Homo-oligomer: A and B are copies of this chain.
Amino acid sequence: MQISTKTGYAVRALAELARQPAGEPVSITAICRRQNLPPKYIEQLFRKLKHRKLISSKHGARGGYILNRPASQLSLKDIMEAVEDDFSGYCCLGANSHIEYCQGSPCAFYDFWNDIRKHQEEYFSSLKLDQVINYQETENEANISG
């Protein structure tokens, strides 16, 4: 039960996009230089983010990526759903073991896991990308004043 490196990377990379003046694309090279991330890996994550229409891209020299929405409207859930292949709580219906427990119909534990999934979805939906950026700014101010 941990948020993956993928999500961590994606948040850091997207934060760089959010910082950029609107309309100006940022290249993966630039993002990864600033955030010290593996470019080819980020490329893959960005492809997923693009398929989910969270970002757009511009080809060629001076090209790069831009956010499709203001950071205040981009949730951690959106990012996780795009980048991890399955955001969702545990569900007894999922066949993640060779031993099928509830063979197709909701089992006795279904409601329990389902409520958890719903809670998690709501929680991660409530966390927005701009919050990270605000945290960063606070941090920086503290460093300057300190």
Contacts and interface: CB of A to CB of B under 8 A. Distances in A.
B87 A5 contact: no
Interface residues of A, number: 47
Interface in A63-121: 76, 80, 84, 86-90, 92, 96-97, 99, 101, 108-113, 116, 119-120
A80 B5 contact: no
A54 interface: no
Given A1-B3, A2-B87, 6 more contacts: A1-B124, A2-B90, A3-B89, A5-B96, A8-B92, A36-B101
Given A12-B101, A101-B36, A135 B111 contact: yes
A26 to B, nearest CB: 17
